[in-house]
Every structure is written in C-alpha cells, then in structure tokens.
Structure 1
Amino acid sequence: MRRALKISLVTATSAALTLGAAACGGKKADDAGAGGDGKQTLKVGLAFDIGGRGDQSFNDSAAAGLDRVKKDLNITTEEISAKPDEPDADKESRLRLLANKKYNPVIGVGFAYTNAINKVAKDFPDTKFLVVDADQCKVEGANVMGACFSEEQGSFLVGAAAALKSKTGTIGFIGGVNVPLIHKFQAGYEAGAKHARPDIKVLPAKYLTQPPNFDGFKNPALGNEAAKGQLDAGADVIYHAAGGAGIGVIKTAGAAKKWAVGVDSDQYNQPAVAEAKDYILTSMLKRVDVAVFDFVSAVSKDTFQGGTKKYDLTNDGVGYALSGNKVDDIKAKLDGYKAEIVSGKIQVPTKP
C-alpha cells in the first residue's frame, strides 16, 4: 500500500514542500543530514496530534518547543499533521517516513502515538523516539522516551482559582474526549476547587465526544454548545481540556462575560480568542514545549536515556498562567497550594 503524505518542512526560511512516500517503509532515503566531514547531523521530525500546529493549545505547545529547537540549537525540523480518526497504521506510516528520511530524533505528539512508536522504534534501533503523553506513562525499547505530565496537579491550581473567583458559587468542566488522560484534568480541577472552597458547586463534567470519535479535541462548535449548557446551569467559571474545541468554550464564556480557564498553552494571547481575552482567568500550563526541547537537547548532547520522564509541579512541568493579571490577588494562595503539593502534604487525585 502506498500513501501520499503532505508534509510541511520547517526551516529557517519557513519553506514548505510536499513529499510522497511509501506508507510501510522500506525505501531508503539519501543520506541527507550528513555533514561535510561525513558525520551525521541532527534533523528532527515531529508528527502532530489531531489539530496540528495552530490548535492554540496542546499541539501549539509542542510547536513552540520545535521552534525553540530550530532557533536555539540550529537544528533542521520537519513536521507532519495527523488526520481525524485515523488508524494506528497511518501513524506508523508517518513515523516510518521520517525515520526512513534519516530524521533522528523523531517525536510523536499525543498518547495515540504510543503503540505506533513502540512498534516502529524496534525497526529503527539507531533512531531516538519521543512520545509526548505516553499512554499510561509506559514505553518500550532503549531508544524510546515517554514524556508524562501530572495534569492533575496543574488542574488543581486552576480549580482553586476558579472556586476563589466564582461569584455564583458554581463552576464547570468540559473535557474534549472521554478518555483516562482527560479524567486527570477533571479530577485535579474538582479537587482544587473543593480544597480552596468546600462549599463550591462543581457541575457534572461534560465530555464532548466518546472514543473513537475525537472531534471533541478539534470542533469549536461542540465546545460552544457545551459551554452554553454550563452557563445556563449557573457556572460563571468554566475550565476546558478540549484542545481546539476549547476555543468555542472560551469564546462562549467570554461573550457571556464569564470566566474561562484555558489549557496546555497560555491562551490569553492566542489570536483565535482575542475577543474573549479579558475573560480568560488563567490557563493550566502543560509544558510540552519543554519536554520537546529537553529531549532533542539530550539527543544532541548524547545524554539521551530511554524510559519515561515526569513533568509536574516539582520541575515546573505543569503550572498556571499569570497573563492578564486576573489571579494576582490570589497568587499567594495558589503558590501556597503548589508548595503543599510539592511537599506531599496535598495528594492530588488522578481520577474523578
């Protein structure tokens, strides 16, 4: 089987090109990337999750890390976007394409890449792989690293902020797709809200889609409708963990002059929600950009080690945004909660 994959080549001049490649590998690429002295130079290949660059959330955080790699490490990068509801075979094809083109290291963004990377990495033992959000924080092979995040810890802090800022005493949570990963966001948010304000009412969580339908991570219209429902139920703060679909949540909350809480990236300055920025209370930061940069940097320094690496509040792998100064008045309380989580005094649940 052959499949044409369209890829954007990111270079210092932001040039783009389209490549056709065999889906199942086997075609050996030219030794592109070999320096004039014959030594291999790094070229980083990155495969995005659904939504790709421009989702102004999860993927854009990965993109920021890739951009930093290009700028700070002066390394060529190439990126490919995923298609909605695609099978694992397509993800494997994308990864094989990059590995066959001598891109090393190779990055898969999103837990859905875990199985594909574990499989492809066995066929390319000299290529280093990273899976962001490794499923269940598990990977296979000495040439594979999994970046895992304590989303529940960052969500605890924005849940506390939501509760402390709510005037109606009612807040809401909207998840993109009903999967265990997003349950961590919900669990932390609810726990943080209750810890900061025991009398707070947290509406039943709303999930936009059920797997295998992943539109809940990319369709803003779904976020819009869900936000309307929670606003009608009295919520004046809504936290979304819905990727691109969360743009609809933010816009709808902002139009109603109610608070929205962003996710993954600092969404305060995102162009897609410019009209609602005054109503973005904060964002739960998930430093995918740091994980991407750390991984490539380790490969470039020859200090790479397979296995998993956790990003949490102890290493600022998660956190909350201060843009807009909307939480300045409660920052001391939030930082106090952070210190208690880091010390172990507060144990944050991972399941609702």
Structure 2
Amino acid sequence: MRRVSRIALAGTATVALAASLSACGGTSSDAASKSSGGKDKGLAISFDVGGRGDQSFNDAAYEGLVKAQKTFGYKTTSQEPTDGETDADKTARLVALAKQGYNPVIGIGYSYAPAISAAAKKFPKTTFGIVDDSQDQAKNIADLVFSEQESSYLAGVAAAEATKTKTVGFVGGVDVPLIHKFQAGFLQGVHDTDPKVKVLSQYLTQTAQEGGFASPDKGKTAAEAQIEKGADVVYHAAGLSGQGVIQAAAAKKVWAIGVDSDQYKQKALAKYKDYILTSATKNVSQAVFNLAKSVHDGKPESGIIRGDLKSGGVGLADSNPKFSGNDAIQKAVKAAEADIISGKIQVNSK
C-alpha cells in the first residue's frame, strides 16, 4: 500500500502539501474558511501504503470520506503516502491538514501512530483518528480498531469447507502483529472445521517499507507457490499485494479469499471475481464516516472504538453466488458466527 515520489525532509513535505492539497469539489482553503465558521468541518484522510486503488483497505476508507462529503455537504480531502517517508513526513502532512481547518483528520493504518500522537498535541481542538492502532489515549484521538481475527475465523471455516485438496493457503503482507491476527483467526477457523486440512502460510516482507502491502508481483509469486503445493483456496491479508494473490488463483482456477473490502465487487478485479469465493471484511468505511459524523454533531468520538462481528464492524461477504448458494458453507459459517457472537468460541488473536 505505498507510492508516489520520495520526500527527504518533513519541511519539504509540508511545503509540497500546502501547494498541492485539493478537496473533492473545492480547495483546501475553501474547507478552512468553512471550518472557521464552526458549522461545516471537512474530513481529511491520509492513506496507508498503497494509497487509493488497492481495492481493499484504503478504498474502504475513501468510501467513508465520500459518504461524509455527500451527507454533510462539506469539503473533504484525501492524501497519498510517499515512497520511503518517515514519521516526520507523516506528521508534517497531518499538521498541514489540521492547520488548514480539516476536522477530523484520520490516518489510515497503524504506521500513523507516532504522527497522529505528535499532530494531536499540536492541535488539541482538532479530532484525530487512526485506523488499526490503539496505543495513544489522548482525549482528541479516536482509535478505530477491529477484531479481524473474527472475520478471519469465518474465512477459515469457508476455506475448510471449500477445499477439495485438503490444503489451503494464507498470504500476509507484512510480518507484524496486526496481520498475525488475520492468520491466527484463519488457522483456528480452518482447524476447528477440519483438523485434517493443511494450512500453508507466508509473509511477503518483514517491514512495510519492503513493499509487503504494495507489491502485487510478490503476492502473485507467493500464491503460485502455495497453489503448486496443492492449495486450492488462498486467503490474503496483504493490501494491494493481494491483487496478485487473486490473479494467481484465477489463473490456476482455484479460490481466493479477499480482505477488508468485498473484493468480489471491486471493478478493478471484475475479471477475476468468479474465483473470489468471499472476503473477510472490516467496515473501515463506516468507522471513518462515524468519526466524521461525531465531529459534525459536536460530540467527537475518542478512545478505543472497536468493530467486531457483533457490531457489524467485521464480517464475511456473500456476494459470490457460489458462496451464498453453497448450503454446506453457509451452514458452517452461520453456526460459527453465532458461536463467536455468543462467546462460545473465543478466537485467537496471536
């Protein structure tokens, strides 16, 4: 999930951002003037690695921004990440957005944690949000987190029911605790459903800077290797790299399981959709919109705000008729979902 040009200094980033910020339907100065009136407060989001077009995590956040723009009739803006950027670069971008009057300002992804913390201290009257991190409990920060292990468990159930080779795969973008949650839930869901099913697992990189979330070629290579070893269902938690996983699955006519957004519905993946069994979704769109609404209503959210199966914050997509129409899979998935919500099943997060 990362692209565009490199930035050497935070100061340079700030100058470049001030010159280039644009809003959906208006300029950032328009938004600043509206914000000064205390009524229309524009939402700004700063994308994670890969940026818009990942058909997954970032695009889901953008949907929330578009919904806020349409609902509240104000100016919004979204900013792309840059290659090799530092925490100082991220902080400069967030500070520039807050200085221009955007509120709330949301960093999409755990990598924004230091930048959000620093920017929030500089602008205590601005609400900041961060998706997928819950370390900073400052009063003007909302931590938008999810129980990804729960939807991943359901993906594991579906994979165990769908496999004919008794071998499935998991491809993680980066070897970090957040992605471990996806893997842990998937493994548990598979083995609780059928202990005889083998799970092949691979992480693409150790750090995001190495391209684990932004390299479809790496995802494709990893999936091809798992398919060669017999996997006929491959689940990815790899952002933009996951497109390569889906491409590999479609080429070999096996199942892929998407992540974050309902990837069966993504236009850029339309030619592969017949091989996207389902997707383990998390409602980043609604979380982003809800934070914007809370600020618009004068009651800004703060602290940890968690989305899980019970709240509808995570789930399993059923857009593919071959998934929704499969009685065995549906029965197993619905039973597992009920047991997770009731507490009968405790899903591992590590």
Give the TM-score, by structure 1 length.
0.91
**Residue identity opposite 1:95 in structure 2:** L
Give the alignment partner of residue 281 of structure 1, picking from 277, 281, 303: 277
1:158 maps to 2:155: yes
Give the alignment partner of residue 9 of structure 1, picking from 16, 22, 27: 22
Deviations 1:158-202 (A, max 9, x none): 110011000001000000011110000000001001111121111
Aligned-residue offset at 1:43:
1.1
Identify the residue that residue 228 of structure 2 maps to in structure 1.
Answer: 232
**Residue identity opposite 1:9 in structure 2:** S
Identify the residue that residue 115 of structure 1 maps to in structure 2.
Answer: 114
**Residue identity opposite 1:219 in structure 2:** S
Aligned structure 1 segments of 4 or more residues deviating by more than 4 angstroms: none
Q: How does 1:237-248 map to 2 (within 5 A)?
A: 237-248=233-244
User: d(CA) in 1 for partners of 2:245 and 2:306?
Assistant: 29
Deviations 1:129-148 (A, max 9, x none): 100111xx222311111011
**Residue identity opposite 1:193 in structure 2:** V
Aligned-residue offset at 1:272:
2.6
Aligned-residue offset at 1:274:
2.0
Identify the residue that residue 256 of structure 1 maps to in structure 2.
Answer: 252
1:216 maps to 2:212: yes
Q: How does 1:122-137 map to 2 (within 5 A)?
A: 122-134=121-133, 137=134
Q: Which moved more, 1:208-217 or 1:258-267?
A: 208-217
User: d(CA) in 2 for partners of 1:7 and 1:333?
Assistant: 50
User: d(CA) in 2 for partners of 1:10 and 1:238?
Assistant: 38
Q: Give the 3 Å change call, closer, same or farther, for CA 159–7 of structure 1 in structure 2.
A: farther
Aligned-residue offset at 1:305:
3.5
Aligned-residue offset at 1:8:
5.5
Identify the residue that residue 6 of structure 2 maps to in structure 1.
Answer: none
User: d(CA) in 2 for partners of 1:335 and 1:48?
Assistant: 33
Give the alignment partner of residue 136 of structure 2, picking from 139, 146, 152: 139
Aligned-residue offset at 1:30:
9.7
Aligned-residue offset at 1:7:
4.5
Aligned residues: 334
Identify the residue that residue 79 of structure 2 maps to in structure 1.
Answer: 80
Identify the residue that residue 32 of structure 1 maps to in structure 2.
Answer: 33
Give the alignment partner of residue 314 of structure 2, picking from 311, 318, 324: 318
Deviations 1:213-256 (A, max 9, x none): 34110111001110110001100000000000100000111110
Query: Over the residues paired in the alignment, what is the CA RMSD in angstroms?
Result: 1.8
SS in 1 for 2:212: helix
SS in 2 for 1:282: strand
User: d(CA) in 2 for partners of 1:195 and 1:7?
Assistant: 51
**Residue identity opposite 1:305 in structure 2:** E
**Residue identity opposite 2:53 in structure 1:** G
SS in 1 for 2:76: strand
8 Å contact 1:95–1:117 — kept in the other structure? yes
8 Å contact 2:149–2:183 — kept in the other structure? yes
1:172 maps to 2:182: no
**5+ unaligned residues in a row in structure 2: which ranges?**
1-10
User: d(CA) in 2 for partners of 1:144 and 1:231?
Assistant: 43
**5+ unaligned residues in a row in structure 1: which ranges?**
20-28
User: d(CA) in 2 for partners of 1:185 and 1:30?
Assistant: 38
Q: Give the 3 Å change call, closer, same or farther, for CA 235–8 of structure 1 in structure 2.
A: farther
Identify the residue that residue 184 of structure 1 maps to in structure 2.
Answer: 181
User: d(CA) in 2 for partners of 1:283 and 1:42?
Assistant: 33
Identify the residue that residue 300 of structure 2 maps to in structure 1.
Answer: 304
Deviations 1:76-119 (A, max 9, x none): 11111111332100110110110111111111100011111111
8 Å contact 2:262–2:281 — kept in the other structure? yes
